[in-house]
Amino acid sequence: MPADEIAIEAVDQPTGEHVSALAQLLPHLSSAPVPDLRRLDEIVNSGATRLLFAKVDGSLVGTLSLVIFSLPTGKRAWIEDVVVNPDFRGRGVASALVSEAVRLASVARCRTVDLTSRPDRAEANRLYERLGFERRITNVYRKSISG
């Protein structure tokens, strides 16, 4: 699937469609309860979290959370909860989500973007390395952003 068919949207105003998409996606990642609309609104309006969704042919097929925060050592970003509908894996959706998260972190002038991935998720680990993330001794990946 060409990348131009994947649209990435940052949620400013969560809707029932976002809640429904998360209800379908999150069980592939975690047993945590799916946030309701009120909780999604809290997340989106926290000031720290950008909730991204990937859309293909009008359907929400993937999501990612990007958290941006300031520390005495600099502004940092963290990627969490990357999940793609199994029917759309291997088609560039996760790559598009992660690339947009890195772009947003760069615009926010973050020094690094970190994420973690379980060692048994070989395909995801290869993707992160292809996108320029470096494996750390702690199995945390980091990509330096110059700017």
pLDDT in tens, 81-137: 999 999 999 999 999 999 999 999 999 999 999 998 888 889 999 999 999 999 887
Amino acid (1-letter code) at residue 125: N
Report residue 144's pLDDT band, with 50, 70 and 90 as the boundaries: confident
Report in angstroms the alpha-carbon separations of 12 from 59, 66, 109, 128, 140.
18, 13, 20, 26, 29
CA torsion sign, 12 to 26 to 56 to 131? positive
Chain-centroid distance of CA 87 in Å reads 18
> Can you list the domains of the chain with their CATH numbers?
3-106 (3.40.630.30)
User: What is the rounded distance in angstroms from the CA atom of residue 8 to the CA atom of residue 105?
Assistant: 15
**3-7, 10-14, 77-81, 86-90: range with lowest mean pLDDT:** 3-7
The more confidently predicted of residues 31 and 76 is 76
Q: What is the DSSP letter of 62?
A: E
Q: Could you tell me the end-to-end alpha-carbon distance of the chain, in angstroms, rounded to an integer?
A: 32
pLDDT in tens, 39-59: 999 999 999 999 999 999 999
Query: Of 32, 33, 64, which is closest to residue 128 (Cα–Cα)?
Result: 64
4 class by beta-carbon count within 10 Å (0-12 exposed, 13-18 middle, 19+ buried): exposed
pTM above 0.75, yes or no: yes
